[in-house]
Structure 1
């Protein structure tokens, strides 16, 4: 059936005055003011069947670069299907303190609550990667947040979790995501703390999950609300979601992925126990865990996790040493490590291939964390920063921004030999933006040299300046 966009006139009550604004249902509305005294805005999504006569669940989605509309766009399909309101601040930043970001969040919460009939027991947070980590902090500081959907990240700090303010944690992660082992470990911690939690695993790397997984996460939150009596039980909904999850479990078993099937079966038993008799599922789980394939894959994965831990420890140790000593000579060792990871990509063993992807994601995240830490210091260590940029051209050769940073900074220091080397490496790897290259900061003198233009002409066919032989 064709869906029509409906207009909804809403009176938005602020502290100082009321502002009349028209919002569309079924699309994201961006740039909504929190109030007239603070220059903060947020993006909002209302499902097409929004009706102000009943109370609604809301998910506050976090992006640590303030990209509210972009963050919401990933959740829209699931929110439309599961009937959730979405909101995301455009002012949350990883450069701000936790306190500042919590205050921004609280102001947004209050505004959204004043605009719409929000269910007091159905407020949630969500995000991906760093946004997910911050989302997991919010329930500790803000009341009435009942749950978190965390995509590709564990909780920010397990030490701040308290039984006095529990929340439901629904994690979603790819089995080749570098955070996968950490999220498996988190599940055990949350169980020990008696925090309600579920973990949904898909086949993939550090990436947004599909709508199917986001919908399942929202369904789990809805089922928990029914179990707690916050909303009436819907037997038709319960039966439908139960059957869909059993199909997913059977599909994983049929595709010979018993570890993922077992994990999902655990969550189905946990989520549906308050609503249905799940004794038959418990028996199915026992049979699955006794299978030769499950035992073999479980043993292989545990062995890979142990090996992976040792390699990660090497990465941490050598990176710390190299940053402290500006050890450019060790760039060759890092290049060797990346070549070893490429070999894992071609391994006949699936768990080795997954480990290779996780390790590559881990080392890049580790380097980026160090870049962020150094960049915000009062006295920035430029030498350490250049080293890390150079290292990123090895560990993530397809990200051209780091080559450009090295070329710009080297030119600024009149180290034209280094600048020319990274220029050629950049072009070798497929960089095509000639205009951006000739407008690169700090390279005015470099750009007019014959060597620069010879390299450009070699890879991009035509240089801006003529090459004159003397």
Structure 2
């Protein structure tokens, strides 16, 4: 026992850019410098039985907010069970230009390849949201990439795809994420190229990582493909363990009465484990689930929700374009009503409809934000800009840029009442950046008025101008 503990906690010494760092096996080490980018770092996880005597499969992970350690820990289960090194970037992808991000990501990959015993044929990347776009882009740069796991988003440039060197594409999306259909489009793109693909769904919404067991099940896709390609040994007992772990997840869905989700999971496993001798086991379990009372109704509910959702998406696109073109302020209330109704469905007991409502709210937010960003960048009449800004606040009550824009446009147009109304609405959302409230373009005269400062003081406890007694 003493020797076992010593083996688990033994220290590894790794030379990175001519410096030595103590890396504990079985633990995540944070803040390792990215070579050539010393102010940027990553987190590293080495499995407990890591040894420099052999080459290792390695996955590079990207989180939108740069939560390297937390994200690396999400991959620990898969790293231990399936023998992967995990390197997770501490890069805030939302606050940096894309060329800088790609440069840092590439430097991290090259640094690991040069300092650790990485198997060059077993290099993978994974990411969520903006991180999924980075991880997908890396496959265009590192030509030996074996696989990409894209959660909630992706990126592909067909011009840079080498059809003679296919890699595996694993797409994953939360059932409440409107991007689920975009992920399915990426999967079809790779399917059409005859690249190996796999899809995973989990109970989550946009900008959320799946739980560790879902990540582990997805990583199994990489591992099995490597076995098929002869890049990892075909160990029957090891594959059996992977299969049983995934079957346990399918069973957990069944036990929580997610019968249709369990059935779909088994359908995907049927293809995933083809050729490994588990066909009868999977088929029997699928037959068993189909006989459960409630399975057929869940399947029907799911199909109806999907059909209604796609119809609604088409209608929203048409009506939004029409309302923007006609600058129809009278229809703002209708859009707000749509959100209210969807919010009620989100809280309902019907899982299919609740997930659908989550996706539709996200889709409306995406549509209006896209139109908002486009309109703000072009020369159009002021009423068009005010309309799309007001619509944004109706769709997403926590979109500060739209409120600030209305204040700016209304003040510049001499409509102080509207500007003050949206100032108060903005502060009601909890917005507290006082400095920005006194740097709104076109609203300088308004910011000096007692009315403006009275509203700011009411919600923030202080204002920039006028003495307390003047704005009570």
TM-score normalized by the length of structure 2: 0.80
Matched, 1:466 2:471: no
Which structure 2 residues correspond to residues 106-117 of structure 1 after superposition, within 5 A? 106-117=106-117
Q: 1:163/1:343 Cα in 2 relative to 1: closer, same or farther (>3 Å)?
A: same
8 Å contact 1:40–1:90 — kept in the other structure?
no
**Could you tell me how far apart the structure 2 residues matched to 1:167 and 1:418 are?**
55
In structure 2, the residue matched to 1:308 is 309
**Could you tell me how far apart the structure 2 residues matched to 1:298 and 1:157 are?**
36
Aligned Cα root-mean-square deviation (Å): 3.9
For 1:73, which of 53, 56, 70 is the aligned residue? 70
In structure 1, the residue matched to 2:180 is 180
Once the two structures are TM-superposed, the CA of residue 121 in structure 1 deviates from its matched residue by 1.5
Once the two structures are TM-superposed, the CA of residue 359 in structure 1 deviates from its matched residue by 0.3
Once the two structures are TM-superposed, the CA of residue 10 in structure 1 deviates from its matched residue by 3.2
**Could you tell me how far apart the structure 1 residues matched to 2:236 and 2:434 are?**
61
**Could you tell me how far apart the structure 1 residues matched to 2:115 and 2:470 are?**
68
In structure 1, the residue matched to 2:153 is 153
In structure 2, the residue matched to 1:344 is 345
SS of residue matched to 1:145:
coil
SS of residue matched to 1:275:
coil
In structure 2, the residue matched to 1:88 is 89
Q: 1:372/1:210 Cα in 2 relative to 1: closer, same or farther (>3 Å)?
A: farther
8 Å contact 2:94–2:130 — kept in the other structure?
no
Once the two structures are TM-superposed, the CA of residue 210 in structure 1 deviates from its matched residue by 1.4
8 Å contact 1:167–1:196 — kept in the other structure?
yes
In structure 2, the residue matched to 1:22 is 21
**Could you tell me how far apart the structure 1 residues matched to 2:433 and 2:19 are?**
48
What does the per-residue CA deviation read over 1:375-396, in whole Å, with 9 as the maximum and x for residues that have no partner? 7x5x676956665443332222
Once the two structures are TM-superposed, the CA of residue 362 in structure 1 deviates from its matched residue by 1.0
Structure 1 gaps, min length 5: 14-18
What does the per-residue CA deviation read over 1:3-32, in whole Å, with 9 as the maximum and x for residues that have no partner? 99876543335xxxxx32425443354372
Q: 1:432/1:181 Cα in 2 relative to 1: closer, same or farther (>3 Å)?
A: closer
**Could you tell me how far apart the structure 2 residues matched to 1:52 and 1:192 are?**
39
SS of residue matched to 1:144:
coil
**Could you tell me how far apart the structure 2 residues matched to 1:243 and 1:191 are?**
27
SS of residue matched to 1:84:
strand
**Could you tell me how far apart the structure 1 residues matched to 2:10 and 2:370 are?**
44
In structure 2, the residue matched to 1:43 is 42
What does the per-residue CA deviation read over 1:77-116, in whole Å, with 9 as the maximum and x for residues that have no partner? 323651422143748679857x886666444432321122
In structure 1, the residue matched to 2:170 is 170
After TM superposition, the structure 1 stretch with the greater mean CA deviation from structure 2, 326-335 or 1-10, is 1-10
**Could you tell me how far apart the structure 1 residues matched to 2:91 and 2:122 are?**
22
8 Å contact 1:61–1:72 — kept in the other structure?
no
8 Å contact 2:34–2:108 — kept in the other structure?
no
In structure 2, the residue matched to 1:433 is 432
In structure 1, the residue matched to 2:360 is 359
**Could you tell me how far apart the structure 2 residues matched to 1:2 and 1:456 are?**
61
Q: 1:72/1:270 Cα in 2 relative to 1: closer, same or farther (>3 Å)?
A: farther
Q: 1:263/1:433 Cα in 2 relative to 1: closer, same or farther (>3 Å)?
A: same
8 Å contact 2:372–2:392 — kept in the other structure?
no
In structure 1, the residue matched to 2:128 is 128
Q: 1:89/1:324 Cα in 2 relative to 1: closer, same or farther (>3 Å)?
A: farther
Structure 2 gaps, min length 5: none
**Could you tell me how far apart the structure 2 residues matched to 1:390 and 1:40 are?**
41
Q: 1:264/1:452 Cα in 2 relative to 1: closer, same or farther (>3 Å)?
A: same
What does the per-residue CA deviation read over 1:241-266, in whole Å, with 9 as the maximum and x for residues that have no partner? 32222122122123222221122212
**Could you tell me how far apart the structure 2 residues matched to 1:382 and 1:30 are?**
50
8 Å contact 1:169–1:197 — kept in the other structure?
yes
Once the two structures are TM-superposed, the CA of residue 422 in structure 1 deviates from its matched residue by 1.0
In structure 2, the residue matched to 1:16 is none
Matched, 1:403 2:403: yes
8 Å contact 2:75–2:86 — kept in the other structure?
no
**Could you tell me how far apart the structure 2 residues matched to 1:193 and 1:404 are?**
46
In structure 1, the residue matched to 2:455 is 455
**Could you tell me how far apart the structure 1 residues matched to 2:460 and 2:104 are?**
47
SS of residue matched to 2:170:
strand
Q: 1:419/1:243 Cα in 2 relative to 1: closer, same or farther (>3 Å)?
A: same
Once the two structures are TM-superposed, the CA of residue 400 in structure 1 deviates from its matched residue by 4.2
What does the per-residue CA deviation read over 1:276-307, in whole Å, with 9 as the maximum and x for residues that have no partner? 43322123324534666333322332222222
Total equivalences in the alignment? 456
TM-score normalized by the length of structure 1: 0.81
For 1:10, which of 4, 8, 14 is the aligned residue? 14
After TM superposition, the structure 1 stretch with the greater mean CA deviation from structure 2, 440-449 or 346-355, is 440-449
8 Å contact 2:408–2:419 — kept in the other structure?
yes
What does the per-residue CA deviation read over 1:306-328, in whole Å, with 9 as the maximum and x for residues that have no partner? 22112112222333445556554
**Could you tell me how far apart the structure 2 residues matched to 1:413 and 1:392 are?**
20
**Could you tell me how far apart the structure 2 residues matched to 1:382 and 1:125 are?**
45
In structure 2, the residue matched to 1:262 is 263
**Could you tell me how far apart the structure 2 residues matched to 1:346 and 1:80 are?**
32
SS of residue matched to 1:30:
strand
In structure 1, the residue matched to 2:294 is 293
